[in-house]
Amino acid sequence: MLRNFLPNEHVGSVHDINPLVLKDKGIKGIITDLDNTLVAWDAPDATEEIIEWFQLMDENGIQVIIASNNNENRVKLFSEPLDTTFIHSARKPLSNAFKKAQKAMNVRKEELVVVGDQIMTDVLGGNLAGLHTILVVPIVETDGFVTKFNRKIERRILNWMKRKGKIEWEEENNR
């Protein structure tokens, strides 16, 4: 059961995700979280670096869809300037948003990765959907109310995984 909380990869940020490496693995699509994955949870707009990251993925033929548990207004205001598809109120870790994103991109499960900063939503949901998961370090150390609760559970899971030798990285961001 706890293995469902274990990401396939762990990176510092989305900027550490190389499109050429993804292409070599046959990846054609990314389902990414928004808050604390692409920008701080309270930042309304994409940074210049995130705009460039989206362009880099596009130039390499990798589709990106934002799947966020946040409300439509938040996700739409962020996504529309990037001209990217989005799914709001995704209810991750439930699988509907992942299936919807896969269908929208018209790719196989093996051609998708899920990127996010939360084990309880992004990693668990991606793993339950049978997708490759990449955990990123949260951009900022502050969170919304529900996420603060999730982080406490995540810390317990991560500590258990460390004791059992299930993870090979050191947390860059201890909370």
Domain ranges of the chain: 2-163
Tell me the C-alpha distance between 143 and 150, whole Å: 10
| Nearest residue to 62 via CA among 7, 14, 96 | 14
Q: Look at residues 161, 159, 155 and name the one whose alpha carbon lies nearest to residue 143.
A: 155
What average pLDDT does this structure show over 106-127? Answer: 96
The pair of three-digit structure tokens given for residue 161, joined into one six-digit string? 């995984």
Cα torsion for 19, 24, 30, 32, to the nearest 10°? -60
Distance from C-alpha of 19 to C-alpha of 2, rounded to nearest angstrom: 29
Q: Which two tokens stand for residue 168?
A: 């090979």
Band (pLDDT 50/70/90 cuts) for residue 155 is confident
pLDDT tier, 79 (very low <50, low <70, confident <90, very high otherwise): very high
- Please compute the mean of the pLDDT values over residues 87-114 and round it to a whole number: 97
Question: Per mean pLDDT, which range of 77-81, 110-114, 129-133, 167-171 is the poorest?
Answer: 167-171
Mean pLDDT is lowest, of 41-50, 70-79, 155-164, 165-174, for 165-174
pLDDT value, residue 173: 43
pTM of the prediction? 0.85
Angle, CA of 29, 33 and 34, to the nearest 5°: 120
Mean pLDDT computed over every residue of the chain? 89
Specify the residue for token string 């460039």: 52
Q: Which CATH class is domain 2-163?
A: alpha beta
pLDDT at position 154 over 80: no
In the numeric block, the tokens 């317990």 are attached to 156
Indicate the range of 4-8, 22-26, 157-161 predicted with least confidence. Answer: 157-161
